[in-house]
Amino acid sequence: MSSSPTFSSFVTIFMFLFFLNLPFFNSQLPIKATIRRAPRQLSVNYYAKSCPQVESLVGSVTSNMFKEAPASGPATIRLFFHDCFVEGCDGSILISSKAGSKELAEKDAEDNKDIAKEAFEGINKAKAIVESKCPGVVSCADILAIATRNFVHLVGGPYYEVKKGRWDGKLSKASRVHHNLPQSNSTVDQLLKLFSSKGLTSEDLVVLSGAHTIGFAHCKQFVNRIYNYKGTKKPDPYMDPRLFKALKMSCPQYGGNVDIVAPFDVTTPFSFDNAYYGNLEAKLGLLASDQALSLDQRTKPLVQELAKDKHKFFQAFADAMEKMGGIGVKRGRKHGEFRKDCTMHHV
């Protein structure tokens, strides 16, 4: 998921859709998913006595943000992924770099620079409202987890209960970001190794990649697929010619508009559904790392299953989001804190 699309970006998106001649509206109602797993240490009712209104407080902010800046939805989901994969789900991505410091915070790492600012602003707004009602009680990490679930549901995805009880992390270093995140050209081997290091399976990899049913990527993330796939100086053979032509029109090999974005899901870019998987089967995946999932025998069968069954995808996605939300949870003052301001460590 990428930064806030500009007007010219939206023109480009609709050019894609017109050129590909594919439908892009989905009127199906969201499906409610039931969570089965319960990560250790976390509880749905963690704030039942200390801040019982936390969900509604965060919900008021996310609803308004989604109306005012729809890009805040996919951006916040991406923010949560990037937080959990680096140092665990501890809100460390929300910390601002200290002026004059030699070590930048996670937020300013290259991989995080194009996350829309609305995502950070939304979490800060939610934190301020929660602090006004329940001072010093709710962690930024939990607010991010709740906001992410809200946005998944607001864009048409499953609703699931959020387990809470994370403390905020004390460490935030940009140098730890790149090697802990999937890259747009990652191979399935690299992706499986990375996900395994986080306690996630090949199934989790395929299911969580389905978050690319919404959101956008900049040209730099897929330009090599168009012009120089794996050093061949030719396009990726696993790309539908219609997609190749549309991308080539928008993303020149050199000197293009850096603000131009393309939707991860070229058929239903504004709807959270399972069309992403059907796109992969049709060679309409935007990133090489996405398209690879439909080509590798370890991941292809699940891609095919999820392409056929939206309900199964929603249930699996809800389960996988809870599982990912339990990565590297901090508890206790040795490793954690409760920040009053999500951008600064607690003093």
By CB neighbour count within 10 A (0-12 exposed, 13-18 middle, 19+ buried), where does 242 fall? middle
DSSP per-residue string spanning 255-309: S--TT-EEESSSSSTTS-SSHHHHHHHTT--SSHHHHGGGTSTTTHHHHHHHHH-
- Listed in sequence order, the residues at least 6 apart from 95 whose beta carbon sits closer than 8 Å to its beta carbon are 105, 106, 107, 172, 342, 343, 344, 345
Other residues' Cβ atoms within 10 Å of the Cβ of residue 230: 11
Q: Which stretch of DSSP H or E encloses residue 126? A: helix 117-133
Joined tokens for residue 131: 């602090």
Give the span between the Cα atoms of 42 and 102, in whole angstroms.
35
DSSP code at position 108: G
Tell me if 253 sits within 8 A of 227, measured CB to CB. Answer: yes
Q: What are phi and psi of 28, to 5 degrees?
A: -70, 145
- Listed in sequence order, the residues at least 6 apart from 339 whose beta carbon sits closer than 8 Å to its beta carbon are 91, 127, 139, 140, 168, 345, 346
Whether 218 is catalytic is no
User: What is the number of helices (H) and of strands (E) in the chain?
Assistant: 13, 4
Q: Which of 82, 153, 212, 218 is catalytic?
A: 82
Catalytic residues: 82
